[in-house]
Amino acid sequence: MTDGLVQGCLRKMAVEPGSTQAQPVSYQLRAGEHRIDLNARLGSPLKLSWSGAIACTHCGRATKKSFAQGYCYPCFKRLAQCDTCIMKPETCHYYQGTCRDPAWAEQHCFQPHIVYLANSSGLKVGITRKTQMPTRWLDQGAIQALPIIEVDTRQQSGFVEMLFKEHVGDRTNWRAMLKGEVAELDLKAERDRLMAATASGLGQLKSEHGEDAIRELDGQHHAFHYPVAAFPRKIVSHNFDKQPEVSGILQGIKGQYLMLDTGVINLRKFTGYEVSVA
């Protein structure tokens, strides 16, 4: 931790999993090259002031507006990681020869992906690269997660997720997640129920892509505890674009949100914003 004022462009908070309430998820705020231990700041005043500048996280170009959480408009329109197929992987168009960056796709999309169940504001299904476990779940503020299927490519994970989305949602209610109003679930029982409900569709996918391409998992159940001294009773959301200075007593961190006694702020939303932190 750096004493006093630090300044730099925001990045997604760095996270490390914790296993108990006594050892919760560990967070570091990243501003440029600076890293600030936020767990150590719990219960203390925290002030973030936006300078008015935004820099693209890819090319570093100054931009008046951030697109897709941190990109300038040219990069947003050009980069493969900003294409619509990232949000809807079943629409992958690599094999049509129209991928924005085939080399990037081969590195990121053509590697094992996991379809999982998580409990962040209730039961949801999601997908992530195998190497992104458990970071993906922590970024969502999940208190529980269970890997259920492994596939060879991102597109295949999208096909599987579509089957499950007929029976379970894929979104997090961020307000409920931040209020801490989340009851624990029996994820293995939910997995068994959903696997039975999607058995026909999974069988069809295996016949199309190969029996070994879609692998059912007997995965380990994961549970997470977050550094929260007090959950907000009412959600008030801070926004740098409307209020360039955000300050208050840090009461908790969950997902990519800071919980202050004055309101909450999603730091990932403001990736690339140049801020000073005190």
Q: Are 12 and 268 in contact (CB under 8 A)?
A: yes
Both 116 and 206 in one domain: the answer is yes
Both 202 and 119 in one domain: the answer is yes
Both 152 and 204 in one domain: the answer is yes
Q: Is 242 within a domain?
A: yes
pLDDT at 4: 60
Both 170 and 126 in one domain: the answer is yes
Q: Is 241 within a domain?
A: yes
pLDDT at 1: 40
For the chain, which residues score pLDDT lower than 50?
1-3
Residue 84 structural domain? 79-110
Both 122 and 219 in one domain: the answer is yes
pLDDT at 131: 96
Choose one of 92, 110, 128: the last residue of a domain. Answer: 110
* Percentage with pLDDT > 90 across the chain: 95
Q: What pTM value is reported for the model?
A: 0.93
Mean pLDDT of all residues in the chain?
96
pLDDT at 22: 75
Both 149 and 200 in one domain: the answer is yes
Both 139 and 52 in one domain: the answer is no
Both 137 and 218 in one domain: the answer is yes
Both 106 and 118 in one domain: the answer is no
Both 190 and 139 in one domain: the answer is yes
Q: Is 201 within a domain?
A: yes
Q: Is 74 within a domain?
A: no
pLDDT at 2: 42
DSSP 99-117: -S-HHHHHHHTSS-EEEEE
> What's the full length of the chain, in residues?
278
Q: Is 203 within a domain?
A: yes
Q: Is 1 within a domain?
A: no
Q: Is 42 within a domain?
A: yes
pLDDT at 20: 72
Domains in the chain, number: 3
Both 106 and 119 in one domain: the answer is no
Contacts made by residues 134-139, CB under 8 angstroms, sequence distance 24+: 134/17, 134/222, 134/224, 135/15, 137/222, 137/224, 138/15, 138/17, 138/25, 138/224, 138/255, 139/12, 139/15, 139/255, 139/256, 139/268
Would strands 144-151 and 222-223 be described as parallel, antiparallel, or unpaired? antiparallel
Q: Is 248 within a domain?
A: yes
pLDDT at 219: 86
